[in-house]
Amino acid sequence: MGRDLNWKDTDLDFGMSVVMKKLQQLNLDKSPGPDAIHPLLLEECATVLAEPLSMIFQQSFEARTLPADWKTANIVPIFKK
């Protein structure tokens, strides 16, 4: 996986179609995150959620802040032999 280290802020697109595409491409085998929303629900509701999420992402980007909940993660150790 190569990453482009020369990206610019102007390269970011929070348009409704981009958000909807990402929601429809979620891995449905993954567990819910800290918000307890299963990826299957997000994928099934993509057409309804895309516009409000797009607006939230754009406002967050313009304000240069992230909601505190977005900085939370559930980390569970998996012990192996």
Q: Which of 53, 50, 45 is nearest to 70 (CA)?
A: 53
pLDDT at 2: 55
Instruction: Copy the structure tokens of residue 60.
Output: 């967050």
Residue with tokens 């567990």: 31
What residues of the chain score a pLDDT lower than 50? 1
Q: How many CB atoms lie within 10 A of CB 3?
A: 6
**Rounded Cα distance, 58 and 39, in Å:** 22
pTM of the model as a whole: 0.74
